[in-house]
C-alpha cells in the first residue's frame, strides 16, 4: 500500500505543479528543507480546497520522496461525497465516520496509527480559518501528539490567500509545538510565521 501511495502522490505532485504553473500564482517561503525519513506531522490552517495541492506543489522532487507516504485528514462531508471518490486513493481518511455514533475519535486514532507506522499525516485542526477569522481549534491535535509512541517531526504550514488566484505558503519546522497542550496556542504559533 505504501508504494501505491507514493505513486498516487507523484501524480498529485505533477497535477499540483501543472496547476501552479498555468493557473495559480504561489509564493513559497520555505524556511526548512524536508529530508529525513522519520514520520512527520503537518499542521496547517485551511483557506481553500487547494491547500493540500499548494503544499504538495511547493515541494521539490527530493522532498516529495521524503514526505511520501502522507495521509491527510479530510472532513467527513468531502470524504464521503461523490465529488471526491479518489480521496482514499491519495491517502485521505475521514475525520469522523459516516455515522458519528460509531467511533467519535476515528480520525485521531487513524492519525496515531499512521504516525506509529512511520507514515506522515496532514491535519487542519480548525477547519477553515484565515488570519482575520478565528475559529476555535479542536483538541484532536493534542490527542494525537500525546498518543504517539515517538514524537514526529512537526511542520507548520501557513497558507494565505491574497487574491482569487494568488496564494502564499510558509513552511517551517517547530518541534516545540509537541509540548503545548492547547490547540489554540498551536494555531497562534502557526499564524506567527
d(CA 121, CA 43): 9
- pLDDT band at residue 102 under the 50/70/90 scheme: low
Q: Angle 106-116/140-147 helices, nearest 10 degrees?
A: 40
What local confidence, expressed as pLDDT, does residue 35 receive? Answer: 78
SS3 10: helix
d(CA 34, CA 153): 10
Q: Please say if the pLDDT value at position 2 is more than 70.
A: no
* 60-97: pLDDT as tens digits: 888 888 887 788 888 777 788 876 667 777 778 888 77
Q: Terminus-to-terminus CA distance in the chain, angstroms?
A: 35
d(CA 128, CA 63): 26
The per-residue pLDDT of the chain, averaged, comes to 79
What value does the mean pLDDT take over residues 182-188?
Answer: 76
**159: enclosing H helix or E strand:** strand 153-161
What local confidence, expressed as pLDDT, does residue 148 receive? Answer: 87
The architecture that CATH gives domain 2-191 is 3-Layer(aba) Sandwich (3.40)
Q: What is the dihedral of CA 81, 86, 92, 96, to 10 degrees?
A: 20
SS3 73: strand
* 122-160: pLDDT as tens digits: 887 765 555 566 555 667 777 888 888 888 888 888 888
Q: For residue 68, what is the DSSP state?
A: -
Amino acid at each position: 500500500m505504501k508504494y501505491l501511495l507514493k505513486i498516487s502522490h507523484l501524480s498529485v505532485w505533477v497535477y499540483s505543479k501543472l496547476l501552479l504553473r498555468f493557473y495559480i500564482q504561489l509564493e513559497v517561503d520555505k524556511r526548512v528543507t524536508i529530508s529525513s525519513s522519520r514520520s512527520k506531522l503537518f499542521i496547517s490552517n485551511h483557506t481553500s480546497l487547494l491547500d493540500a495541492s499548494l503544499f504538495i506543489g511547493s515541494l521539490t522532487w527530493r522532498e516529495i520522496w521524503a514526505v511520501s507516504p502522507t495521509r491527510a485528514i479530510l472532513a467527513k462531508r468531502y470524504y464521503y461525497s461523490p465529488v471526491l471518490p479518489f480521496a482514499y486513493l491519495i491517502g485521505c481518511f475521514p475525520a469522523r465516520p459516516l455515522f458519528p455514533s460509531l467511533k467519535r475519535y476515528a480520525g485521531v486514532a487513524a492519525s496515531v496509527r499512521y504516525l506509529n507506522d512511520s507514515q506522515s499525516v496532514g491535519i487542519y485542526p480548525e477547519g477553515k480559518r484565515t488570519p482575520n477569522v478565528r475559529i476555535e481549534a479542536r483538541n484532536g491535535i493534542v490527542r494525537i501528539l500525546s498518543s504517539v509512541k515517538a514524537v514526529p517531526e512537526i511542520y507548520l504550514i501557513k497558507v494565505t490567500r491574497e487574491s482569487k488566484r494568488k496564494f502564499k505558503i510558509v513552511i517551517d519546522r517547530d518541534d516545540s509545538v509537541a509540548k503545548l497542550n492547547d490547540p489554540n496556542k498551536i494555531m497562534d504559533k502557526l499564524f506567527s510565521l
